[in-house]
Every structure is written in C-alpha cells, then in structure tokens.
Structure 1
C-alpha cells in the first residue's frame, strides 16, 4: 500500500443510510450527535446521511426522507464534511428532482444513485438532470458479481465523463473475491475514465481485502460503516479500515473518538444483530438476493436449516421440494378454537378445555406449537398450523410423537422457504390449497389458522393466547405484532364469520368476552 494513500483515496461513511435497513431509518438523537462529532474529527471526507425519496408505502423513518431541518442540523454538526444523500433510481424520475433536491442545495455536496444495471440508460437521464442542479453525481451500480455475465451496460458510459463524478462498483451480494475485483476494475477502466469507487458487503468476510484490492487497482473512493452496520450481512467496518491505514502510517486517528462511537453502535448491534451468518454466507457465495435473507433472519421464524434449504432451492431454480396432500375443504365444524402462543392459552386452559369437551362441532387449531402439550389429551379434532420453526417446536414440545394423532397443516405449495418436514410427522401432514382471505402473510401460523377454519366451514372463531405485546418490545416482536394485527383486520372483514377473543388481548378491533362467561 503506497504511503500517499490519503492523497488519492477518499473515505465515505454511510452508516446512517445503510444502517437504516435495520432501524427503519430512525436513530436516537444522542447517537446521531455522537456519530456526527466523530465524523467531524476523523479523516473521512464524505458522509452519506440517508435517502431522499418520494413518499413510499409503509413507515420509513427520518433518514430515509431527510427533511431539510435534518440536513441542516447534520451540516451544522459536520461543517467540514461533504454530505451525501442517495436516490433509489427505481423510484425517482426527473420530474421529482426539483422537490427532492432543491432543499438539499445548501447542505449536500454529492448525490449518489443506486442503480440496477438493467436500468442504466434511464439512470443516465436522471444523472444529467441532477448534475445540472449543481451536485456532484455518483453512480452506485449494484450486482457487481454478475457484471462479467453481461457487461453491455458499461458501453453506455461513453461520453459521461462530465456527468458522473464517481462510478461505484457495489458488491450487492457480498460474493466477489479479490481476483474478481481486479478483473472487474480492469473491465470498467476499459470503458470509462470516470473515477472509480467501491462498496463492499461482508457476507464472506471479504469486505476489507476487497476494498484494499480496489484501492490498489485504482479506486479513489471507498465506503465503510461504523461496526459494519448495513443491509444484510453489513459492510466494511469503517473503524477497521481506519485502524489498518493507521497501522501503515497513512492516517492519524483520534482513537478516543473512534472507540466511543464504535462502542455506542456495538450496543445497538446487540439489539439488531447485524453481521454475517451462515445464510448470508450462502447467499454471498451464490449471488442470491440479500433482501429476502434479511427478512427471513430478522423475523426469527425460520431455523437456519430452512433458510439454507430455501436458498439452495433458489440456486437450483427449484420452487419447492415437497408437495403434500391438500386439506380438503368441507363443512366439518361449526366453531374453531384458535390457540396462540400467549400465556393466557395456558393460564386459562381448564376453562378453554371445558368449552371444547364433549362438543364435536368445535375443532382446535394451534397457531404455533407453544401450548400444544397443554391440550394433547383433549379429544376434539386438532390441527397444527406449522411454518418456520414450528415443526421442530412441535416435536420438542411433544417429545413422544406416538401421542400425536392430529393433523399438521403447512402453507400452500410452493412455499418460499421450501419445505423441511420431520419424518416423524410426514404421514399426518397436509397443505392448504391457498390462503385467500389476507395478503398480510402466507406463512404466519395465525394466517394458516384462520384459513384452516375457513376451509373446514367454521362460522365462529374463538381466539385464545393472542395476548399481544407490551410497549417495550424488540424489532422482531414489533414486526410480528404488526403482521398479526393485519391478519386479524382481514379476518374481521370475512362475511359470515364471527371472531371473538375469549382471553385478554392487546390487539385492536377484536371483540372480547370472558371464557368464564360462556362455559
């Protein structure tokens, strides 16, 4: 590594933008203040502070939209830094730019554009309009590991030297190796004289060596994030790059400031748990999408084996590996008890059993396996709605599979995760034909439970064990609570279906009566 690296390489930190994939682009004010103080004092030239975007569906936080007061405060906190925002090209058109970028002019130096190579021609039109507004422009072109398969988009770079200030190669899947970095940089250099940048993901823990290789091959700007916080497996750790360069006597670092902000983000990491793991490694090795892996891992619904099975199905272009008999749709029961995993299904089990016993018109549907063992001896017909971890939970809960004489029900074929069914329960397993009352989820145990009830001709649903969550919940619980609420909202709209909770619940809009009032 040459000693004049700081003269020819610029470091861009994009923690607030890339890290937002874990926090929904909301960060505590105190954390941002500490981050800005560190950035201002560290040898980092560019700081990417978030997205600017047209309104999109769903909640996306402060640093996804970066209102003008946010940009103003960030610039005041980092007056010597060149601030950057990024546009997601797939959502932005030239007619949006006046409203999106005019407020940025006092604060933002560079606008980066996240680009799918297939949309490169369209991105050029957008880039020219951004450049005309007076910003530096950088292309962040995704899916670097697939460029060698089709590099035709690079021919469009001709004549853009005065439009694009930086051309970034983004290892979206975290799967390239140093040899690939060298080859791709050589390829890009043969097409353009635009200065090059590199953004590495860390699925295979190659972000540092790939970044150093990119620098050696002539990239003049590279990215990092504090603690590697970023989408999926995350990015090159900014502190690792700075420490390495310091060890080579190329940078002077205020390690007190650096260690403080790193410690604060490490505390955040304990909550969100970013970084690589086996599914991210697999997706990186085979250039598979990270977005889906991040959702699967983040939901904490699927075991690692299921996620790897799903990724392997994608690699082999297989929709699913098991087709099951379909649960027959017939009017079999008048009422269904749908039991969730909340404590109330166990605490009030004697009363719930009293409601069911001796009434063959009531079936029991377990939306999850947590309370199954409590109801094993009940003679009513029982169904187990199984997705994700639930098959394994069921076996662990029961222990002796010979006690199981009921029906295991899986989501419709093909299942996104593929299917792993323990041999012990294959003979008693079926799948739903479809889930057609809701679009909130196709593999939620609650969604499966309601669809089972509908397919069996049920007219009355009693809910127990859907306690809901307190206000102090983690991100996974928050997502699951939202999902359950959306499913319940849709179920409550079903014509001729009466839904009532018979144990306490924090879910909204659900009518509640006491189990003790009806036994």
Structure 2
C-alpha cells in the first residue's frame, strides 16, 4: 500500500455549486494563496460544471473561465492548477485550447460513468499538447465495478494518466467503494482516485476505504464546501491520513488556517446533511441538483423529496436540469 496520497482540492470548483457559481475574484485569489501556503499539491478551479459550464440551464458564473484561470495562475506557483472538463460543455477549439495557453497543468476530463467514449478527442488533444490528462468517471454508483473498469480502460487507452471515480450523488457505502476501487486498482496500470460527497455521511470513511484498497489520489474541499451535503472535508481528511501514517505534503496547521479563512472569505455556510441532501443520496441523484429542485418544488407546490426520488427512478444525471421541471410538473398534475 502506497504511503503517499496525492490530494486534489476542488474547493474553487465544486464549491461553486454551493453558491450558485458566484465566487468572486477576491475569493479565488485568497483561497489559492492559502492552499499554496499549505502545500496543497493540486488546486482545481472554475464553474461548478467545469470549463465552458456557465449557462442559463445549469447556472451562469460570476466570472468567465479566462478570468478565473488568470487569477488562479497568478496565485499558484508550487501548487498545480487543475480544471474540470466535461465534453459537451467544453469544446476543444473554444475552451481547451485557451486553457492550455493560460497555463492549466492538469485537465480532469470527465464523463458519465458509462460514457467514456466522449472523452477521447479531448483526452488526446491534451496529451498532444504535452499536458497532464486524467479520466474522471462521474456518478460511479450507477455502474458495476466491472463496467467501470471497462470504461476506465477506454480512458487509459486514450492517454489518461490517472482515473478518478466520483461518488457524485454521495450514494455509496463502504462496500460499494471497496469493490469499485479494488477492481480498478487491479485492472489498470495507472493511478486510481476517489472523489466523495457526504449526502449519507460517508465521504470521509469512503475516502479512507479507497486508500485502503489501493487508491493513491483523493479529492477534498475545505470545510466540505461543495454540492449538496458537500465533499470530503479536506482538513479532516488530511488530519486522518496523517494519523494513519500517510504522507500528503500538506501542512496541517496551515490547512486549518485556510479553513478558518475560507469560511469567512468565500461567503458560505459550511455544508450539512439536510433532509434534501440525504434524499438526494438515497435516490442516487447528482448533489448539484439540490438548489434547482428546491426552486422547482416551490414554483409547482410539490414535495422536493418526491422530485428527487422520481429523478432517481429516471436515472437523471448532471446536465439534465430540464428534467427537474418536467418531473415537478408531472407531480403537480398527478396530485
């Protein structure tokens, strides 16, 4: 078992979901500087849905991608700069090429867990640009370990230098994580990682389980700042990993300082497991749907919990926000 764990911090990307993608320039600069001071190896920034994700459908960002990347690059010297890339939101000519030019170091190229094929062009473009490319499989609870391995192998063949599975809905329990990570670690020749959400209160223990099964990459956000009930809480993750004898290269006191600063400067309330977040996890629905589901429930006078369970039955995924309105209308009609 490797004793070195590579931490990626998507506070300034996943956390954008929690504030309607409205993080400002001061927030990006302040947190990048704090993460850099703490020795965080990789800092991921951007709209909650990644490069090119700003839109009326999923939420318009306060800053454009270029502004975000410029600010982050100016405040990160030792920490590597990462970006989340979902083909469909992100185009090669308009978005990827500019991000390469703006100095992004790590491109985390993501797809729904059964649709790795859509990442091929983006992955190969990044590798040809001599940049680091990771494959990200989102909503990983929706595929068996065997199917996840098939999809991960596709990404590996496209040039992915690591594979990270995301528990995007916070729906997985320990045995779910154990089976998925072990299958990937045994079936791939590249590093494997895990990105947790806390809808069922399992983010930290699932992350540690992933490491115990051979994962060497973990995601965590400061104070858990992220979609739904939030992500694996970074400063707690670092403390627990150190207690278990793992190396992260992160200074515990300085990451605790970053946590105190972030709660004030990023203008957020630390995530909790609300009733809606819990139902989202139980239904297996993307955590980022919490706010639009709440709005639709008010507009149509229906129970948001019923919306989530109906979305779960339809196997809704990120990018299908219009389905929320459709479900709310049907629930109102049927009532």
Give the TM bin, normalised by the shorter chain.
0.7 to 0.9
**Does 1:80 find its partner at 2:84?**
no
Distance 2:28 2:326 in 1: 45
Cα offset for 1:25? 3.2
Distance 2:265 2:302 in 1: 27
Distance 1:16 1:112 in 2: 14
TM-score, normalised relative to structure 1: 0.54
Q: Describe the shift of the 1:27–1:193 C-alpha distance in structure 2 as closer, same or farther (beyond 3 A).
A: same
2:170 to 174, 177, 196: 174
Cα offset for 1:122? 2.3
Query: Given that residues 120 and 153 in structure 1 are in contact (C-alpha distance below 8 angstroms), is that contact kept between their aligned partners in structure 2?
Result: no
Instruction: Give the alignment of 1:303-322 within 5 angstroms.
Output: 306-314=303-311
**Does 1:279 find its partner at 2:276?**
yes
Q: Describe the shift of the 1:270–1:85 C-alpha distance in structure 2 as closer, same or farther (beyond 3 A).
A: closer
Cα offset for 1:38? 1.9
Instruction: Give the alignment of 1:347-426 within 5 angstroms.
Output: 415-416=328-329, 418=331
Q: 1:513 aligns to what?
A: none
Q: Describe the shift of the 1:249–1:42 C-alpha distance in structure 2 as closer, same or farther (beyond 3 A).
A: farther
1:114 to 98, 110, 114: 110
Q: 2:52 aligns to what?
A: 53
Which has the larger Rg? Answer: 1
Distance 2:185 2:252 in 1: 36
- CA deviations 1:415-440 (Å, max 9, x no partner) are 44835xxxxxxxxxxx79xxxxxxxx
Once structures 1 and 2 are overlaid, which stretch shifts more, 16-25 or 158-167?
158-167
Q: Which of the pair is proportionally richer in helix?
A: 2
Q: 1:488 aligns to what?
A: none
Q: Describe the shift of the 1:85–1:159 C-alpha distance in structure 2 as closer, same or farther (beyond 3 A).
A: closer
* Gap regions ≥5 residues in structure 1: 318-411, 420-430, 433-519
- CA deviations 1:98-119 (Å, max 9, x no partner) are 6433423xx2211111211343
1:261 to 252, 258, 261: 258
1:165 to 157, 161, 164: 161
Q: Describe the shift of the 1:124–1:153 C-alpha distance in structure 2 as closer, same or farther (beyond 3 A).
A: farther
How many pairs align? Answer: 319
Cα offset for 1:54? 7.5
TM-score, normalised relative to structure 2: 0.81
Q: 1:90 aligns to what?
A: 88
Question: Which structure is higher in RCO with an 8 Å CA cutoff and minimum separation 6?
Answer: 2
Q: Describe the shift of the 1:26–1:310 C-alpha distance in structure 2 as closer, same or farther (beyond 3 A).
A: closer
